[in-house]
Structure 1
Amino acid sequence: MLQWARDAWPSQASLIAGFLSDDPGRLDGFAIGAGILSAVGDYRREAGDYLLLAIGVPDARRRVAECLLSCGSKFLTLVHPDARVAATATIGEGSIICPYAMVSDSAAVGRCVLANYFASFGHDSAAGDYAVLSPYASLGGGARIEDEVFLGLHASVGPGKHLGVRTKVSANSCALVDAPSDSLVFGVPGHIVRRIESR
């Protein structure tokens, strides 16, 4: 994510101060030129601070974002210069649209959504807050996924289909029917099971 931020704002790359993590050794072995500033709960926003939510698990994205928002933090929206976003599409605050992702006509992307590289939103599709689209995941035209939905690698949601909150579609699977909240969809065509850990 650090590279995507540097690509998006090349004249401000030196302004990337570092990371927030509850694991002080999380960046050990990485030569990235930015370190851990503090634990998430210890962070206090200073004037001019903005954050990117670089977490790939929907419920963790929500928990961390809510913690940071409660102390007045502000999130940047990152659209990589190699992504394509239609003029009629909307992107929510704090969302990240990675290289080669496509957001089509009248698509609506919620807050703090992560669309990884080559992910695509078909025309009139919608993604709820904190949803994660893994690389090559796709929403067909008019498809709708609710908050905290996770689409694995190459997962797809058929045109006009709806996935309830916290549903997961496993890698290489295709949701061709609506799925209720807290479901797991796997296979082609996708089979639906309710997850044991549903809240």
Structure 2
Amino acid sequence: MKNIVIIGASGHGSMILDCVEKQGRYNVLGFVDSFKEKGTIQNGYEILGCELDLPRLTAKFDLHGIILAIGNNWTRKNMADRIGDIAPDLRFVTAIHPSALIGKDVKIGSGSVIMPGAIVNANSRIADFCILNTKSSLGHDGRMEEFSSIASGVCTGGNLTLGRFSAVSLGANIIENITVGEHSVIGAGSLVVKDVGGYSVVYGSPARFIRKRGVTDPYLSSDRKFSDLTALPMKI
């Protein structure tokens, strides 16, 4: 099996590790994390360094690819760009847990993650770097644009279009034929019955517009940790 590392040793990284191990396509060498001490152990795997160490790891271990374990959509994009500068030859691999149900004529992009018990119904399209979390479902002919995410327990009707960088939070429900614009967030437990514009925060049952949001506005409990990737050391 080809060697990969997981970028991010958080709880999300542990879930992705489980997906990769059970999928059985890649050999995980360990984690890469800018916020944890090199040499420490996470789920039986070593923290091998930070992303600046990727060229060294590639040469030492014949590293084939990486997978990003970063829940925040915008931060995940910034890290993908950063790694593209540091180690442009590395591939971003996809992880699909074997308990996920993938329908007919589904396409899933590189760097995306499909978690345990997720359902992707027929004719759906999942772009690069998306997350479909535990026991969530994407209805038939659904489309997730790049760097979008659907949290655990979400149920979506057919023909959803989820815009770039947008997030559907825990346990929300979306009826059929809904479009969600880019960089929007749907709050936990919401019921979405009409289209959602871009750069919006909506929640409630039925969901209503609450406010506009910026691309860097936090929406996850872990966001503070990754709030300023520009503070990390850059390749010279």
Which TM-score applies when normalising by structure 2?
0.76
Matched AA of 1:53: L
CA drift at 1:119 = 1.1
Answer yes or no: is 1:122 the counterpart of 2:139.
yes
What is the CA–CA distance in structure 2 between the aligned matches of 1:26 and 1:137, rounded to whole Å?
36
What is the CA–CA distance in structure 2 between the aligned matches of 1:128 and 1:23, rounded to whole Å?
29
1:22 is aligned to 34
Superposed CA RMSD in Å reads 2.1
1:166 is aligned to 183
What is the CA–CA distance in structure 1 between the aligned matches of 2:213 and 2:153, rounded to whole Å?
27
CA drift at 1:104 = 0.4
Which of 44, 51, 54 aligns to 1:40? It is 51
Higher share of residues assigned helix: 2
CA drift at 1:176 = 1.4
Q: How does 1:99-138 map to 2 (within 5 A)?
A: 99-138=116-155
Any runs of at least 4 consecutive aligned residues in structure 1 with deviations exceeding 3 A, and if so which?
25-28, 196-199
Q: Deviations over 1:71-95 (max 9, x none)?
A: 3221111111100111211111111
Answer yes or no: is 1:178 the counterpart of 2:195.
yes
2:172 is aligned to 155
- Is the CA contact 1:93–1:112 (under 8 Å) kept in the aligned structure 2? yes
Answer yes or no: is 1:58 the counterpart of 2:78.
no
Structure 2 vs 1, CA of residues 69 and 31 (structure 1 numbering), >3 Å: closer, same or farther?
closer
2:211 is aligned to 194
Answer yes or no: is 1:93 the counterpart of 2:110.
yes
| Equivalences, count | 195
Higher share of residues assigned strand: 2
2:195 aligns to what SS in structure 1?
coil
What is the CA–CA distance in structure 2 between the aligned matches of 1:26 and 1:61, rounded to whole Å?
21
1:50 aligns to what SS in structure 2?
strand
Matched AA of 2:97: H
1:186 aligns to what SS in structure 2?
strand
Listed as ranges, the gaps of 5+ residues in structure 2 are: 1-15, 217-236
What is the CA–CA distance in structure 2 between the aligned matches of 1:26 and 1:89, rounded to whole Å?
39
CA drift at 1:160 = 0.8
